[in-house]
């Protein structure tokens, strides 16, 4: 049973995967939505049929000035953000650290870390003033369990985990909640983007694994966001039943 419902929900990267699932779940509950995307065409497709007031913005979240302009330009009815879902992020490449592309590293840092920081800082001031609000960061089990080739992606999600914890400490007297959601394997376009359009390679990641789907994560976020305001879910780690954290790796010489 839903005991609390945010009136205005901001979802970053709402054009695919988790973002679309989040938009549909909160729209189904009647929430007013602020949706960001990098593509107007993709954003338009998401907005169609939601059936609730939507303010859509095409923005590069790694551009601080653009993010500041987005928040400054919010219509009056959308300015009191009750829930910010920092969903934007992703991985690029799976090469070992000594062979990875620095441009890929830069892009991951720009979106996974800086974009999240910009949106959080700009949304949270109003929440503190109103003594009501919730920041939900979409982290990853990769922030806790490193894997070969994950280097900067794993590090960026470890940052999100620690940032969520420290923000919770800073906000303890404000009634503002902070939650870090840490999904494991979820079948979305994540791997397709990581492998830069290599559909065959991306499909192999999920083959035979029965992974989670975006709706599973959306339902988890909705649950955490609609608990009584006195309840703060610090973090949730979720995996498909076919996935677990692996043993420590040991390389042995012959």
pLDDT by residue (tens digit) across 168-188?
999 999 999 999 999 999 999
Asked about 98 being catalytic, the answer comes back as: no
Output the pTM of the full model: 0.95
In this predicted model, what pLDDT tens digit does every residue of 222-241 receive, in sequence order? 999 999 999 999 999 999 99
Q: How many domains does the structure of the chain reveal? A: 1
Q: Which of 98, 118, 153, 206 is catalytic?
A: 153
pLDDT at 211 over 90: yes
How far is it, in rounded angstroms, from Cα 144 to Cα 84? 23
The reply to whether 70 falls in a domain is: yes
- Provide the domain limits for residue 229: 8-238
How far is it, in rounded angstroms, from Cα 100 to Cα 91? 12
The reply to whether 146 falls in a domain is: yes
Query: Residue 149: left (phi > 0), alpha (psi -120 to 50), or beta?
Result: left
The reply to whether 36 falls in a domain is: yes
Query: In the prediction, which pLDDT does 251 show?
Result: 87
- pLDDT, mean of residues 44-50: 94
pLDDT band at 12 (very low <50, low <70, confident <90, very high): very high
The reply to whether 246 falls in a domain is: no
The reply to whether 247 falls in a domain is: no
The reply to whether 253 falls in a domain is: no
Query: Which CATH number is 28's domain given?
Result: 3.40.50.720
How far is it, in rounded angstroms, from Cα 121 to Cα 177? 14
Bridge partners, 156 (sequence order): none
The reply to whether 248 falls in a domain is: no
The reply to whether 243 falls in a domain is: no
């Amino acid at each position: 049973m839903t005991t609390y419902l945010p009136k205005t929900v901001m979802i970053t990267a709402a054009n695919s995967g988790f973002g679309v699932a989040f938009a549909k779940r909160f729209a189904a509950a009647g929430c007013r939505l602020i949706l960001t995307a990098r593509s107007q065409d993709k954003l338009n497709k998401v907005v169609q049929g939601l059936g609730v007031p939507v303010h859509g913005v095409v923005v590069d979240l790694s551009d601080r000035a653009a993010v500041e302009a987005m928040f400054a330009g919010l219509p009056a009815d959308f300015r009191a953000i009750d829930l910010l879902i920092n969903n934007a992020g992703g991985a690029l490449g799976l090469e070992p650290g000594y062979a990875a592309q620095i441009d890929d590293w830069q892009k991951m840092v720009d979106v996974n870390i800086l974009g999240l920081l910009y949106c959080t800082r700009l949304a949270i001031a109003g929440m503190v003033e109103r003594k009501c609000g919730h920041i939900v960061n979409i982290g990853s089990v990769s922030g806790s369990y490193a894997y070969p080739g994950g280097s900067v992606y794993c590090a960026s999600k470890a940052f999100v985990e620690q940032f969520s914890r420290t923000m919770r400490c800073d906000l303890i007297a404000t009634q503002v909640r902070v939650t870090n959601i840490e999904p494991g394997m979820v079948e979305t376009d994540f791997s397709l983007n990581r492998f830069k359009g290599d559909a065959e390679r991306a499909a192999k990641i999920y083959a035979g694994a029965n992974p989670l789907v975006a709706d599973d994560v959306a339902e988890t976020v909705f649950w955490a966001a609609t608990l009584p305001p006195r309840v703060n879910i610090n973090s949730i780690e979720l995996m498909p039943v076919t996935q677990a954290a692996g043993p420590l790796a040991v390389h042995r010489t012959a």
